[in-house]
Amino acid sequence: MEIATLDRRFGALMIDWIICLIIGAAFGPLTGSPWPVVVLVVQHAFLVGLWGHTFGMAVMRIKCVSVADRKPIGIPLAALRGGLLALIVPALIMDAQRRGWHDRLAGSIVLRAVPADRDH
């Protein structure tokens, strides 16, 4: 499978962040609120952990799966990955496979969900 491009990954994160801001706003004013970040980590833990993608990843046609078997990584590893993603820095330092620290520690990789020639 093809490794997801940075623009698709960034687009997915922006979609997810907007969703987290909307949900976080239901808990009160967003200024200084931890709720959007909490929502990001929780949604990441469950959605990536169980199905291999968040809402944003589904829209951008990418998935986050185990490097070993290409299956969802499970809730604990997805929670770790989401928590590290919230710190931003681990995601900025990537290897040749575009795996940041958050991916390496979780044993995950972000791939295109459909081949590029079939993506319309």
Q: How far apart are CA 74 and CA 45, in angstroms?
A: 8
Question: What's the pTM value of the predicted model, to 2 decimals?
Answer: 0.88
Residues 62-101 pLDDT 10s: 999 999 999 999 999 999 999 999 988 777 888 988 999 9
Is a pLDDT exceeding 70 seen at residue 119? Answer: no
Q: What number of CA atoms fall less than 13 Å from residue 105's CA on the CB side?
A: 16
- Label residue 61 by pLDDT band (50, 70, 90): very high
**Cα-flanking dihedrals φ and ψ of residue 69, to 5°?**
-130, 5
**Residue ranges of domains in the chain:** 6-26+35-114
Identify which of 98, 99, 46, 38 has the alpha carbon closest to the alpha carbon of residue 73. 46
Cβ burial, residue 20 (10 Å; 0-12/13-18/19+): buried
C-beta separation of 85 from 57 below 8 A: no
